Amino acid sequence: MNDIDELKQFVEIHARSQNIPTARYREIVANVTHDRGDTEGSWVRAWSDAARELEAQGRPLDACRHYNMARFPFVDGPARQHALDRCVAAFDLWRRTQGDIEPLLVESPDGPLRCWTANLSSTGARPILLVTGGIVSVKEQWAPVLAQAKRLGMAGVVTEMPGVGENGLRYDADSWRMFPAVLDAVARHAPVESVYTVALSFSGHLALRAATHDDRIKGVITAGAPIEHFFSDAEWRRQVPRVTRDTLAHLARVAPDEVGAHMSEWGLGKDELAALDIPVAYMTSLRDEIIPPGDAEAIREHVRRLTLIGNDDVHGSPDHVVETRLWILLNLLRMSGRRGPQRAVLGTLWRVARTRNRFKKQGRVAERVNG
């Protein structure tokens, strides 16, 4: 069972990022008193009941989002497995109304994983946007960005980290190999020449390592990614929230008290970081309770073509959701060399959102653009 208070705290960023209104998710979690299966007052029941209401109203994408919250943070039994199954089914129903979002099965040496794709074409090479969430984010949470990829003239691929959702792989030191495996599978349907990854939280670590091995990756955009100190600093990891430790242990298939030692040598060394000859955009939260501040310093010191920005916020920057979306799109256009009115408008909107947050939070802001 998960700690209910932690679940209520950490679900906020995921609810906001899926456009679940603040008043709505607070109303739902107010009815949660425990985390025992799909029984009255449980986490799964509260979110699943809300999802079923949305299904009955003919709102499959909203239902998908609520089922996603029901299986949060990871599948630990039949109740959350059923919620995940309903999440995927609701998304599948919605995507069929969109016309061009298709599933892709990737067969890797370690097992299968699944993706959603859009705008793949065997005629003409398009830049590819590859999106992955973190340790608690299923691909359906991010798949609506496929529509944005199409508007930008890109092909889109959304998948999930090993052990998350329908990705049956184990999270281990070689999990970065998932990225080349996905690109190899995409290459059977469309040319794969220029790939830009939006890899959030722990998947950002995998994407950066993959980029040192796969030159098809031309840029990495990430937020709150562990780099080196998270893996090597045992004292820091001891204060990481329990839900994070338990989720990592689940993905890695080890006991929670063993996960730290299991991951201790996974950090990106300075030589790996220095070898990155692509643009990297990294967003850090200055009050991050999961990723230590030394990781932002490591990437600042060793990555040459870096855009680094800091928010006075906790992990995931829940108070900066709109700003983060604009920042990601703006960096995607910069990395892919897109200029023109669209980029100018995004830049203006981002600056307005950032200024608004600065006045609202009256917090510290750290920015640096280099290269």
Looking at the structure, tell me whether residues 125 and 183 fall in a common domain.
yes
d(CA 161, CA 169) in angstroms, rounded, equals 8
Enclosing domain of residue 232: 101-370
Contact yes or no for 179/197 (Cβ under 8 A) = yes
pLDDT at 346: 81
pLDDT at 370: 44
Task: List, in sequence order, every residue forming a beta bridge with 311; answer none if it has no partner.
Answer: 285
Q: Kindly tell me the burial class for residue 335, based on how many C-beta atoms sit within 10 Å of its own C-beta (0-12, 13-18, 19 or more).
A: buried
pTM: 0.91
- What is the separation of C-alpha 289 from the centre of its chain, rounded to a whole number of angstroms? 17
pLDDT at 363: 43
pLDDT at 365: 42
Residue 96 within any structural domain of the chain: no
Looking at the structure, tell me whether residues 315 and 236 fall in a common domain.
yes
pLDDT at 357: 78
| CATH number for 195 | 3.40.50.1820
d(CA 102, CA 246) in angstroms, rounded, equals 32
Looking at the structure, tell me whether residues 83 and 113 fall in a common domain.
no
Looking at the structure, tell me whether residues 241 and 187 fall in a common domain.
yes
137-196 residue pLDDT tens: 999 998 778 888 888 889 999 999 999 999 999 999 999 999 999 999 999 999 999 999
Averaged pLDDT in 10-residue chunks for the chain of 371 residues: 84 85 91 92 96 97 96 95 97 91 89 92 85 95 85 92 95 96 94 95 97 97 96 93 94 94 95 96 94 95 95 88 90 85 82 80 47 41
Looking at the structure, tell me whether residues 54 and 146 fall in a common domain.
no
Q: Which residues contact 118 (CB under 8 A, 6 or more apart)?
A: 100, 101, 102, 146, 147, 149, 150, 155, 156
| Number of domains within the chain | 2
